[in-house]
Structure 1
Amino acid sequence: MKALTQKLTKATLDAFSADGALASHVQGYSAREVQISMASAVCEAIAEQHNLVVEAGTGVGKTFAYLIPALLSGQQIIVSTGSKNLQEQLFYKDLPTLLSLLKLTPKVALLKGRNNYLCQELLEKQLQACDSLDTKVLDDLLRINQWAGQTSDGDLGGLTSVSETSDALPLIASRREVCSGKKCAHYEVCYTRKARSKAMDAKVIVVNHHLFFADRVLKETGFAELLPESDVVIFDEAHLLPDIAVTYFGQQLSTRSFSELLNEIINIYRNELRDSAQIETLTSRCIRFFNDWHQQLFEYDETDWRRLMGEQQIAASSWELIAEFKALENLLIGHLGRSDDLDSAVEKLNGYIHKLNQFLLCDNEQAAYNIDYGHRYLTLRIAPIHVSRECEQLFDPKTAWIFTSATLQINRDLSLFTKDLGIDSAKKMILDSPFDYFNNALLCVPRHLSRVSYHDAAVRDLVAVATKAINAAQGRTFILFTSHRMMNAVATVLSSRVQYPLLVQGQAGKQSLLKKFRQLGNAVLLGTGAFWEGVDMRGRLLSCVIIDKLPFVSPDDSLYRARADSISRDGKDPFATLSLPQAVISLNQGVGRLIRDEKDKGVLILCDNRIVNRPYGQAFLNSLPPMKRTRDMDQVVNFLEKIK
């Protein structure tokens, strides 16, 4: 074991050395001590099959620090990311570069969740039903059909002729619940199946966290498990894992599934079982009950299911709906064996009824019950409060598990992250950014700010601060918000105060807005959660980041309340144990948008006095990079005007 560690470490350090592969092919390359420290730790974790947790600040070069040892090890590798952007950067840029430099030729594969691939069967069905489609949707479907004749992999990410927000995309994206597997006429050319086959044959596979957990926990890919067993699993953007794990170790049920199943049963009756009119009668009755219940939920617009079940009208209609579904199930059971499609539908209906019944009971004190509202449908979720035990069982000791991110620690401590994932025994490292934050960045908490809870006053103050900063920076500003309400209010007022282009989340998709921000060179982008992480703007493109307030989770969030109640029952403080740590990590993600390169300079403005006048503010400050600090906006203006 020791000899293997030494051998891999030597090969890795040779690659990073002054006359190694990187130095000979990368212009201006110079070894970074923190990067080599991380690479050495990764070598040890791989060779000795133990777990490693590394917070690697911006500029450490963590991607090469884990990829080079992993590739040189020659083992079966899975790299999982939190975002499609990083996933594609790894596959299309970083991996090809390193494989070329290291003269290695392993098979590599990029694998996304199945809803990222075109389903030829669904596209065919939608085009056959074109008479009932909206004109815009039909137009987009025709564009997709044209693209389908040209694409080699069916990856919808490569579809540029249709907006990423098009209503046509959900209609033709691959979904497990409507997949007929080997029975499908398109099985041999199925893009999801081909992607899976390619992954099974690869030595290095790049996935995202959602796909990894769906594959390993739910095992609901539709083609058995997509991912092979591996020697090494590396999670980049690992700070996202605890929340993602909660989703997959819980349960969820989409009302879209119910709606589609009921319509499917109607079609089965009309095409195969016309001699059993009661099927149509009872199914139509279920559809009416279901639509009324669905509409009720949208009218209440309450995300906490426990609270909803406290409403007598909702509780009564929910149990009535269950009774209607059970009556339909009993009727259909009498027709089993007459139709393969009906047999499959009865099995689905039984599963949906069982799940819905669990939601209505709300009898698990160690779980939160909530509703996510979509455009037309909603999703019922049961989320466990703690998943450490489940994660501990998931992380097989025969595999080396490596977790890394720029934001994992609270007050220089990684134990909150490792405890959440049940990996307390992992080796832990905190590697600070090598960038010169003290001279290149300035943190400002302006004086005389109103309380963030005073909405109108907070809008007025933020607009005043933003106007000064934007003019001094000549645009080139991100304003990050914790709520859409605040973002829209500020956007409305700010549009008449500054002459620079304003790009507001919702005007277009995320990538479209970021592309326009880069092209304009003097724009101001206003966004919420989606823009707090995974955005890389280097150089003069971005000189100022403004954050409206400390990103504490809403106390009305059902999962937070369930966790807080559990913590209180244990005699601990939910704020210190849960709310504060989550907010610190979220703030660090937003702050991380500012300095992305060693030559970058910029100002971070936080419009929330609590960071300086509340005792808990020190926890935020301790976790931020070592920037100079001021409360004087004149210093901000002076700093920004000097950035060339």
Structure 2
Amino acid sequence: MQQELAEVFSEHGPLARVVEQYRPRAAQAELAEAVRQALQTHGTLVAEAGTGTGKTWAYLVPALLGQGKALVSTGTRTLQDQLYWRDLPRLREALALPVSIALLKGRGNYVCHYHLERLQEDERALKSRDEMVQLRHIVRFAQQSKSGDKAELASVPEDADIWHRATSTRENCLGQDCPRVKDCFVLKARRQAQDADLVVVNHALFMADLALREEGVTDLLPATNLVVFDEAHQLPAVATRFLGNSLSTHQLLDASRMLEAAGLAQARGLADWTKIAKGLESAARALRLSVAGLENMPGRRATLLMLPERSAFDEAAEALASSLEEAVEQLTEVQDKHPDLAAALAQCKTCFQTLERWRPDAPAARQAAAQGWVQWVELLTHAVRLHSAPLSVAELFSQHRQEGQAWVLTSATLSVNGDFQHFLQQLGLQDAQTARWDSPFDYAAQGLLFVPERLPLPNHPRFYNDFVATLLPLAAVTEGGVLVLCTTLRAVEKVAQLLQEGFKKQGVQRTVLQQGTAARSALLEQFRSQRGTVLVGSASFWEGIDVPGEALTLVAIDKLPFAPPDDPVLEARLEACRREGGNPFMDYQLPEAAITLKQGAGRLIRTEADWGVLMVGDTRLVEKPYGRVLWRGLPPFSRTRQLELALDFIEGHRLQATPSLETSEPVDGVPPAT
């Protein structure tokens, strides 16, 4: 395959014949060869490839040319769809390969014929006139679609609440007992995945499969020779979420409604189903009342050990367990009478098994404590959620690599200044081969890092006023889009309000979009299409945003993205690091912040023609000793601390005459890039 790869990526190869303005990139060819070697040796490759290296085709070509099956896992469904609908068909055509490809998502992405029919029969399940219209669209889609993938139905947003009732969960799926099993979209997708040469999944599904294997459930995913994890920097967080478990009062209330409906319809008179359901509902509401003290806790959450009025919670959890036990006992007696009863039983059993971790004397609780799990309670607006998560996912993740299987983990942000140790330790991959390729962009000419001189520290009462006051002149002079990345949702609201007030005062006509006012996809679509728009967002906007050209010429970051100190998992991990003699800040918090900051900065320059300013309002980046670790990990932009020079940079590019900024010497007190 080595010779084939060289030919594919050559100046006159098959890619050059089908891709307009194709030109060979050394980094792309080298990464493809590294993937080939990992495939040949059944090894593990951790590869950092900067924006513009062409990493997607670099791993897809050897995956297509290699013998045997391949699995590609992405961080988002957006990239998953892009690979399946755009990249893979183009490559398959260019290489003239008769390979079959399949797209596989979690079951919540596929319409369930059975639950859709039940939804049509129950008018009370629809919450608004809009949902009545959405239901008609979904019914028509289910009749015509070959895949049943909700992403293909543009008229109903993917995050619309009605999808929860028109799809299935593992608990309420009827399996082979379902009267519509022959039409099941989920089973069709899984069969196609088993037969395909290359399957595209996402990290959530991969981790769900891994978690089910932990429970002894048959694998969802096919056995493959190669697994590629794109956007691999997300894996530690996704693994923590899926290898842990949670239970919310929403789930409990759903279970009570489900058992009452199934019992009254299919086993009336065999038990007092309404009494059992009301008992479970009351126990769930009592659980929420028992943790009302969380209202006054940071983030409205606390670990089990720090829970206020712990005895009240323990009593409520015991009462809830008793209600679930009664429901399970009664449903077990009648489960064979109808699939709905079996589904209700499965739902109640799952809730009970999860709750077992929270009962002090239960074996599951003792096992969780012995294995170093952290447990915390989160108070939501109308619910409470109990969380359990492993302190470390390293062993669980690494041990599930199948024998003879090659793993490739790639992203633009895996290392801290070229050091991969933090990422490798999180996933238990210390023996992996590591490699990195820099972006081919001329960052010093294309981008400017601006860290204002006189801003107060982020904890100062006037920080956001001064941050926005400094940002406004830049936003006013640039004709392109502005992306403001905040570290908290509260900051998003504050910054958006200050920007609107500032533009109005200056008489500047600018649309300000704010996270939370519409679906993420809708906000991004408007941002891309409406030139000069300002978009203010938090965590989910720090990555996965590709806005090339003058649609984005200014990215502003409010604070260094250190994880919030009230995160229970982080708190437990820092304490574990401290116990082992480490330095929690340097060993864990700083590397995490460096990778996140690099992700945010990566939104600015997406092509060789892009240009723009990256403004970071947190002066600790250059004024604290640890800041060197952070800014050295960023692309090697030119740098300044003077607003006037930042304005000149924008004006220069607008006039297609870049200002001459010296990058080999310190610029206004900021050390040069290395």
User: What is the aligned length?
Assistant: 636
Of the three residues 399, 403, 410, the one matched with 1:404 is 410
Residue 159 of structure 1: aligned partner: 153
Q: Deviations over 1:493-529 (max 9, x none)?
A: 2112222111111121111111111211111111111
Of the three residues 59, 72, 88, the one matched with 2:52 is 59
Q: Contact 2:252/2:280 (CA < 8 Å) preserved in 1?
A: no
Letter in 1 for 2:109: N
Of the three residues 22, 25, 28, the one matched with 1:35 is 28
Q: Contact 1:474/1:500 (CA < 8 Å) preserved in 2?
A: no
Unaligned runs of 5+ in 1: 1-7
Residue 126 of structure 2: aligned partner: 133
Of the three residues 633, 636, 641, the one matched with 2:646 is 636
Letter in 2 for 1:437: Y
Letter in 2 for 1:509: A
Secondary structure of 2:417 counterpart: coil
Q: Distance in 2 between matches of 1:406 and 1:258?
A: 41
The farther-off stretch of 299-308 and 83-92 is 299-308
Q: Flag the 1:146–1:230 CA change in 2: closer, same or farther, 3 A.
A: same
Q: Deviations over 1:379-405 (max 9, x none)?
A: 422111112111221112310100000
Residue 497 of structure 1: aligned partner: 502
Of the three residues 75, 88, 98, the one matched with 2:91 is 98
Q: Distance in 2 between matches of 1:348 and 1:92?
A: 35
Q: Contact 2:174/2:340 (CA < 8 Å) preserved in 1?
A: no
Residue 584 of structure 2: aligned partner: 574
Q: Contact 2:172/2:343 (CA < 8 Å) preserved in 1?
A: no
The farther-off stretch of 348-357 and 521-530 is 348-357
| Equivalent runs, 1:183-582 vs 2, <5 Å | 183-219=177-213, 224-294=218-288, 296-297=290-291, 300-301=294-295, 302-306=300-304, 307-308=306-307, 310-329=309-328, 342=341, 345-346=344-345, 348-361=347-360, 364=369, 366-371=372-377, 377-454=383-460, 456-498=461-503, 499-582=509-592
CA shift, 1:339, in A, is: 6.5
Q: Flag the 1:265–1:170 CA change in 2: closer, same or farther, 3 A.
A: closer
Letter in 2 for 1:106: V
Letter in 2 for 1:323: S
Q: Distance in 2 between matches of 1:90 and 1:373?
A: 38
Letter in 2 for 1:36: A
The farther-off stretch of 279-288 and 149-158 is 279-288
CA shift, 1:220, in A, is: 9.9
Residue 584 of structure 1: aligned partner: 594
Secondary structure of 2:144 counterpart: coil
Q: Contact 1:181/1:223 (CA < 8 Å) preserved in 2?
A: no
Letter in 1 for 2:202: N
Q: Contact 1:176/1:220 (CA < 8 Å) preserved in 2?
A: no
Secondary structure of 2:407 counterpart: strand
Letter in 2 for 1:275: G
Q: Flag the 1:145–1:334 CA change in 2: closer, same or farther, 3 A.
A: closer
Unaligned runs of 5+ in 2: 504-508, 655-674
Q: Flag the 1:170–1:268 CA change in 2: closer, same or farther, 3 A.
A: closer
Q: Contact 2:39/2:406 (CA < 8 Å) preserved in 1?
A: yes
TM-score w.r.t. the length of structure 1 is: 0.94
TM-score w.r.t. the length of structure 2 is: 0.90
CA shift, 1:259, in A, is: 2.1
Q: Contact 1:179/1:222 (CA < 8 Å) preserved in 2?
A: no
Q: Distance in 2 between matches of 1:519 and 1:160?
A: 18
Secondary structure of 1:623 counterpart: coil
The farther-off stretch of 355-364 and 518-527 is 355-364
CA shift, 1:212, in A, is: 1.1
CA shift, 1:323, in A, is: 3.2
The farther-off stretch of 492-501 and 53-62 is 492-501
Q: Deviations over 1:274-296 (max 9, x none)?
A: 33454543432222222232355
The farther-off stretch of 523-532 and 315-324 is 315-324
CA shift, 1:239, in A, is: 0.4
Are 1:9 and 2:2 matched, yes or no? yes
CA shift, 1:336, in A, is: 7.3
Letter in 2 for 1:228: P
Q: Contact 2:71/2:198 (CA < 8 Å) preserved in 1?
A: yes
Of the three residues 165, 170, 188, the one matched with 2:164 is 170
CA shift, 1:185, in A, is: 1.7
Letter in 2 for 1:121: Y
Q: Flag the 1:154–1:387 CA change in 2: closer, same or farther, 3 A.
A: same
Letter in 1 for 2:389: A
Aligned Cα RMSD in Å? 2.3
Of the three residues 111, 115, 120, the one matched with 2:113 is 120
Q: Contact 2:293/2:308 (CA < 8 Å) preserved in 1?
A: no
The farther-off stretch of 141-150 and 411-420 is 141-150
Q: Contact 2:485/2:537 (CA < 8 Å) preserved in 1?
A: yes
Q: Deviations over 1:90-137 (max 9, x none)?
A: 111111111111111201011111111111211111121114532332
Q: Distance in 1 between matches of 2:384 and 2:68?
A: 42
Q: Flag the 1:539–1:346 CA change in 2: closer, same or farther, 3 A.
A: closer
Q: Distance in 2 between matches of 1:214 and 1:266?
A: 29
Q: Contact 2:613/2:646 (CA < 8 Å) preserved in 1?
A: yes
Q: Distance in 2 between matches of 1:634 and 1:36?
A: 42
CA shift, 1:343, in A, is: 5.9
Of the three residues 14, 18, 27, the one matched with 1:21 is 14
Q: Flag the 1:274–1:396 CA change in 2: closer, same or farther, 3 A.
A: closer
CA shift, 1:444, in A, is: 0.7
Letter in 2 for 1:88: D
Of the three residues 615, 621, 624, the one matched with 2:625 is 615
Q: Distance in 2 between matches of 1:59 and 1:450?
A: 36
Letter in 2 for 1:304: A
CA shift, 1:350, in A, is: 4.1
Secondary structure of 2:228 counterpart: strand
Q: Distance in 2 between matches of 1:420 and 1:31?
A: 35
CA shift, 1:22, in A, is: 1.9
Residue 3 of structure 1: aligned partner: none
Q: Distance in 1 between matches of 2:477 and 2:459?
A: 28
CA shift, 1:633, in A, is: 0.9
Q: Distance in 2 between matches of 1:415 and 1:273?
A: 58
